[in-house]
Amino acid sequence: MNLDKSDLHYFIEECNSLIKQLENGVQQLAVPADSSEAVNAFFRSMHTLKGNARIVGSTTLEELCVAIEDVLEKFRQGRVTPDDRIIKLMSLSVDELKKLLNQLYSLKAAGSANPKILAALRFVSQKGNS
Question: Domains of the chain, with CATH numbers?
Answer: 5-127 (1.20.120.160)
User: Which pLDDT score, from 0 to 100, does residue 33 have?
Assistant: 64
Q: 13-20 — which CB contacts under 8 Å span 24+ positions?
A: 14/52, 15/49, 15/52, 15/101, 18/45, 18/48, 18/49, 18/52, 19/49, 19/94, 19/97, 19/98, 19/101
Q: What is the reported pLDDT for 87?
A: 92
Q: How does pLDDT run across 48-65, given as a tens digit for each residue?
A: 999 999 988 899 999 999
Which residues of the chain are under the pLDDT cut of 70? 1, 3, 33-35, 129-130
Quote the pLDDT of residue 130: 60
